[in-house]
């Protein structure tokens, strides 16, 4: 997410809205599907995923992009000792994008770096890298937050409560960085002491002179939050000797808390969830997480058209419709 700036975020926001609107008509859907049929995307997912995988794949379908996937290391020649770099270079021979999720931090950058000087330096889209980054999730989270506050003065100046395993949650790390583009916004970083936000993110927030508070309390912050972003325990990152709890009951949002939330509070979660987000909340109008999930395909489609320059065709089609 360090590659982004406010202009980019604003453009993707606008483009996401336009792609959503265009796709509502049959004519519009056919226009989008005809945009990039000569493009091919590799979905290289070396960690489990339901929604990121599906939303990227659906985004490709919306734009007519053909997809292939490698979702199981045992079917890749990496098991025969091929290096990660050679695997990436092989994908670049056949595809126009690599969309990758990897358990190791920094591997998306490493993939981009190894293609830099090759004859096919195709884009790498990071779909989640270790405990480090989930930049496209942050893009759709910002989109969802902005939509939620469209009639409440926008995202600027709002208080966002991030709660749960902030140390190992890559979604909250990426989102914290993108939020700094919205002046006057305050972050409350609420977690058990052992899982508080890492120092590199805190230093980034200091550098950007962001208003934030680190707290090991949760319930007390609920009444002041304009948005609550829950996260689960990321115990897939446990090491053999150091096993974390399966849930933090005191960092759980339950139906009985709804009465103390602001009327316009946006309740979010990148999903999947466990006990930290009570399913009894799902039907409350402030629960935005299913919408947040669905926004993924539109935001990711917008991103892919932007990096290939096809956003200009979409903008031009839209301005013709709006004439
Ligand atoms: N939010 C998210 O990254 O979900 P998946 O792990 O299901 O892709």
Tell me the per-residue pLDDT of 60-111, one tens digit each, with 9 for 90 and over. 999 999 999 999 888 889 888 899 999 999 999 999 999 999 999 999 999 9
Exactly one of 16, 20, 52, 305 is catalytic; which is it? Answer: 52
The whole-model pTM stands at 0.95
For residue 111, give its domain range.
Answer: 6-133+295-313
Is residue 185 within 6 Å of ligand 1 at its C-beta? no
Does residue 125 lie within any of the structural domains? yes
Residues 129 and 156 both lie in one domain: no
The two most distant CA atoms of the chain are separated, in Å, by: 64
Report the separation in Å between the CA atom of 230 and the middle of ligand 1, taken as the mean of its atom positions: 14
Q: Which of 16, 20, 51, 87 is catalytic?
A: 51
In a domain, 299, yes or no: yes
244 plus 299 within the same structural domain: no
Q: Is 296 in the pocket of ligand 1 (CB under 6 A)?
A: no
Where residue 166 sits, what CATH number does that domain have?
3.40.50.1370
Q: Is the peptide bond before 291 cis (omega within 30 degrees of 0)?
A: no
| Active site (annotated) includes residue 51 | yes
Least confident of 94-103, 109-118, 245-254, 311-320: 245-254
Q: pLDDT at residue 176 above 90?
A: yes
Contact 98, 122 (CB under 8 A): yes
For the question of residue 300 being annotated catalytic, the response is no
Indicate if 96 and 74 belong to the same structural domain.
yes
Has residue 38 been placed in a domain?
yes
Give pLDDT tens digits for 180-203: 999 999 999 999 999 999 999 999
Residue 318 lies in a domain: no
Question: Is position 146 within any domain?
Answer: yes
Residue 2 has pLDDT above 70, yes or no: no
Residue 143 and residue 211 in one domain: yes
**Ligand 1 touching residue 52 (CB < 6 A):** yes
- Asked whether residue 70 is domain-assigned, the answer is yes
Do residues 271 and 143 share a domain? yes
Q: Are residues 285 and 212 in the same domain?
A: yes
Same domain, 181 and 301: no
Q: In angstroms, what is the span from residue 297 Cα to ligand 1's centroid?
A: 12
Closest CA to 179 of 145, 223, 217, 213: 145
Same structural domain for residues 240 and 300?
no
- Give domain status of residue 104, yes or no: yes
Say yes or no to pLDDT of 299 above 70: yes
Q: Output the pLDDT for position 75.
A: 85
**Quick check: 41 and 69 in contact, CB under 8 A?**
no
pLDDT of residue 246: 72
Whether residue 88 sits in one domain with residue 229: no
Place 257 in a pLDDT band, splitting at 50, 70 and 90: very high
Q: Please indicate, yes or no, whether residues 224 and 302 belong to a single structural domain of this protein.
A: no
Considering 26, 38, 80, 151, which one is annotated as catalytic?
A: 80
Backbone angles phi, psi at 241, to 5 degrees: -90, -25
Residue 103 Cβ contacting ligand 1 at under 6 Å: no
d(CA 234, CA 41): 28
> Average pLDDT for residues 306-315, to the nearest whole number?
97
Domains of the chain: total: 2
- 19-28, 69-78, 181-190, 236-245: which has the minimum mean pLDDT? 236-245
Residue 241 pLDDT:
64
Candidate of 46, 54, 58, 128 to mutate for ligand 1, largest count of ligand atoms within 8 Å of Cβ: 128
Could you tell me if residue 1 is inside a domain? no
- Output the residue whose Cα is nearest ligand 1's atom 6: 49
pLDDT for residue 323: 87
More confident residue, 243 or 313: 313
- Residues 265, 200 within the same domain: yes
Ligand 1 binding pocket includes 87 (Cβ within 6 Å): no
Closest CA to 226 of 197, 193, 263, 275: 263
On the CB side of 320, CA atoms within 13 Å amount to 9
- 80 catalytic, yes or no? yes
- Name the DSSP letter for residue 197: P
20, 131, 134, 177: the catalytic one is 134
- Considering only CA atoms, give the Rg of the chain: 20
21 and 33 co-located in one domain: yes
52 alpha carbon – ligand 1 mean position (Å): 5
pLDDT at position 314: 98
């Amino acid at each position: 997410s360090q590659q982004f700036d406010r202009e980019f975020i604003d453009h993707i926001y606008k483009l996401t809205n336009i792609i959503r609107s265009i796709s509502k008509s049959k004519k519009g859907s056919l226009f989008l599907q005809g945009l990039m049929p000569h493009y091919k995307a590799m979905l290289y997912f070396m960690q489990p995923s339901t929604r990121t995988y599906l939303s990227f794949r659906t985004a490709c379908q919306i734009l007519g992009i053909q997809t292939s996937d490698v979702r199981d290391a045992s079917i890749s020649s990496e098991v025969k000792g091929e290096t990660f770099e050679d695997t990436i270079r092989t994908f670049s021979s056949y595809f126009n994008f690599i969309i990758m999720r990897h358990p190791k931090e920094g591997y998306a950058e490493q993939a981009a770096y190894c293609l830099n000087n090759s004859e096919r330096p195709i884009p790498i889209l990071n779909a989640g890298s270790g405990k480090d980054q989930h930049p496209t999730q942050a893009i759709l989270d910002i989109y969802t937050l902005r939509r939620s506050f469209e009639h409440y003065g926008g995202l600027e100046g709002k208080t966002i409560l991030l709660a749960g395993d902030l140390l190992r949650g890559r979604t909250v790390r990426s989102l914290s960085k993108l939020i700094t583009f919205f002046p006057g916004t305050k972050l409350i970083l609420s977690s058990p002491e052992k899982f508080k936000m890492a120092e590199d993110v805190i230093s980034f927030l200091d550098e950007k002179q962001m208003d934030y508070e680190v707290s090991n309390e949760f319930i007390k912050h609920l009444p002041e939050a304009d948005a609550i972003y829950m996260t689960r325990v990321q115990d897939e990152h446990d090491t053999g000797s150091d096993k974390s709890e399966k849930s933090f009951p005191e960092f759980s949002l339950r139906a009985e808390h709804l009465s103390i939330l602001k009327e316009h509070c946006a309740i979010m979660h990148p999903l999947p969830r466990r006990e930290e987000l009570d399913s009894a909340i799902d039907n409350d109008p402030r629960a935005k997480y299913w919408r947040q999930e669905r926004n993924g395909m539109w935001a990711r489609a917008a991103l892919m058209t932007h990096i290939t320059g096809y956003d200009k065709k979409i903008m031009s089609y839209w301005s013709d419709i709006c004439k």
